[in-house]
Structure 1
Amino acid sequence: MMKKLLFLGLLVFGLSPVFGQTNFNIGVHAGIPMGDIEDISSFEGGVDLAYRFTFVDIVEVGPLLGYTHFFGQDEFDDFNYLPIAASGRLGLPQSFFAGFDIGYAIALEEDADGGLYYRPQVGYQFLRFALVLSYAGIADDVIDIGALTFGVEFKL
């Protein structure tokens, strides 16, 4: 199943040049782990690729594919997730925006479970890049994994 989801994500982003380049975004972020994992992870980092279609000038919606890496502390191993989500943005006055990503995060370790991926965010849009503050969370039946993140997003 993971191979099928990865293929679907690559297909969506592979076809994005057909629709134009203005809504293709790449972002990098780093964060402080929170919730059930703050005692086993010291740092979070990741990258996201999104293609958002513009509706009514201030609304953008589209697919997102990401990679999130939690660095283990002390005797704990690192762990990674592959979020596949729907991404939305609402433009606010003065170049601010609010956004929300929701989907599923696939665990890339055999002994870990994936879960519901959610990421509320706020940011400020400059010309071709944005500064983004967010909370990225992954919830499954056992634990809630989260991180308070800060990132930069570039429009390609």
Structure 2
Amino acid sequence: MKKIILTIVAVFAFGLANAQDGKFKLGVNLGLPMGDIKDAYSFAIGVDAAYLWSVGDGFQAGVTTGYAHYMGKEDWIDDAGFVPVAGTAQYSFTDNFFGGLDLGYALGVSPSGNDGGFLYQPKVGYQAEKYEVYAGYKGISVDGGTFSSINLGFNYKF
């Protein structure tokens, strides 16, 4: 697992070092579990880091990673953690309103036996020059179900 995380960090750092016209974003998000996990998990919290390049008028694409943590409701349910490794795209409908999509894989880091799964996260939001606020639906398809949540997030743009 350490090798995987170090590889992700190295690829992300290389991208940042070679980027010339992109935007770096750091953020946090809070979520309410839905669907398959809503009875077992009470809350989701996460941190995000992304780097996006302008690829067209109002359109940006890049890479994203972070950490997503789902808190179990009962003592016998272990918390679940994931490290997403994904591509991200964002389209600005106006100067302030955007839609976006993250697609990739969420590496399972806890509990033991969590292998992770396919990650998808559509989102819409409001943006200013230095920050953005968004609402989204995060789904992580794992063996036997889906970790899903409705999220509210905040990103600071550098």
With structure 2 as the length reference, what TM-score do the two structures score?
0.91
Match of 1:62 in 2: 62
1:13 aligns with 2:15: no
- State the Cα RMSD in Å: 1.5
Per the alignment, residue 96 of structure 1 pairs with: 97
Structure-2 separation of matches of 1:9 and 1:60: 21
1:7-156 alignment runs, 5 A limit: 7-15=6-14, 16-20=16-20, 22-75=22-75, 76-109=77-110, 110-156=112-158
User: Residues 106-137 of structure 1, C-alpha deviation per residue, up to 9 Å, x if partnerless?
Assistant: 11022223100000000110120000100010
Structure 1 gaps of 5+ residues are none
Letter in 1 for 2:78: D
Q: Which amino acid aligns with 2:8?
A: G
Question: What letter corresponds to residue 8 of structure 1 in structure 2?
Answer: T
- What is the DSSP-based 3-state SS (H/G/I as helix, E as strand, rest coil) of the residue aligned with 2:4? helix
State the 4+ residue runs in structure 1 displaced beyond 3 angstroms.
2-5
Deviation at 1:141, TM superposition (A): 3.1
CA distance, structure 1, for counterparts of residue 23 and residue 57 of structure 2: 12
- Cα offset for 1:140? 2.3
For these two proteins, the number of residue pairs brought into alignment is: 155
Query: For residues 34-72 of structure 1, what are the alpha-carbon distances to aligned partners after superposition, in whole Å with 9 as ceiling and x for unaligned?
Result: 111111110000011111111123111111111000011
The structural deviation recorded for 1:27 is 1.3
Query: 1:22–1:155: 8 Å Cα contact kept in structure 2?
Result: no
Residues 21 and 53, structure 2, Cα contact 8 Å, conserved in 1:
no
Instruction: Output the amino acid matched with 2:88.
Output: S
User: Residue 93 of structure 1 aligns to a residue in which SS?
Assistant: coil
Once residues 155 and 54 of structure 1 are traced to their aligned partners in structure 2, the CA distance between those partners, rounded to angstroms, is 14
Retained in 1: the 8 A contact 2:81–2:108? yes
> Aligned with 2:42: secondary structure?
strand
With over 3 angstroms needed to count, the CA separation of the structure-2 counterparts of 1:93 and 1:5, relative to structure 1, is same
Q: Larger deviation: 56-65 or 39-48?
A: 56-65
